Structure 1
């Protein structure tokens, strides 16, 4: 059954994003480089075998996405899958101690990103044996981390996986944060620190 609400609104409501409240800015461990998904490379620029691994990892997600994506309404399942594939982009998250690659995959489609460019994003680990979407499955979200226009990654002690902070536009003056930390080979949603909420509220202005 297709949902009547806007796909972008659905993503934001399901994710329960935390708006960054007003506060003083200053030196912070959250003052890492902000990466915009506008600067992502197309999935098609990866070697064919890596593309296949990633698409296999997102196969169920693409099927779930078709339930709320207007782009699927006039396409067959195979045509829609190709449509999504053509619009997937990636950014590699640097982590020197991590074996394999950690990629943030975004679906750049005006039918899902909305006017604020909050595009669906997946955290994907890519290795020799295959690819894994690392956020646990959620109804209607699949393994997506939600929608965002950019991200920050921060080194975490005790693990080779960085913390991922997904940035979402609520408005021209308000940024929402979704913070994810690795645990037992999965990325789980965690409360964002008050320090990051204060610092990153102005992320869209940097």
Structure 2
């Protein structure tokens, strides 16, 4: 359990960092972030930090999670695809905003642990899968919203194809881990509209399923 003061400070810090969307803040308040942070990093779960998790991945800093979620502008009837489940924290937040969340993780161990947490929280509208997130999920397309939690050099064309007209994709874009920007892509009848949001740092988007137990 987290004490009320810690949670209050956490929510205040989110607002101070620029997360002001009331629906997003409400969703983040419902999700116990400490459950997604393991080991000696657990006491730092509510700091605005990116924290290492298993398989060389990270759980993104809360303010970036909040800003990405706000940019996605999820509506109650939306079907959302997340590429890069990681700890499952972002998917848990999306579950409070969307009708259905599909999330794909290339590391089997991370997917297994995220699925367990999601099940324990009884978030029945989240489907966690092990797979190659770079390929998306064509058999469930089109999606109303797509979120990438790993950086691509450019918005992947195959994922843009799985976004419905009127849909939104949010992702980090950059050729190195030192120079990346958060991008919002809106699909229109006439093509795509791109909005650059802010500098970020994410792990790279990698094709294939990781070879591990």
More strand by share: 1
More helix by share: 2
Q: Identify which of structures 1 and 2 has the higher relative contact order when contacts are C-alpha pairs closer than 8 Å and 6+ apart.
A: 1
What is the TM-score with the length of structure 1 in the denominator? Answer: 0.30
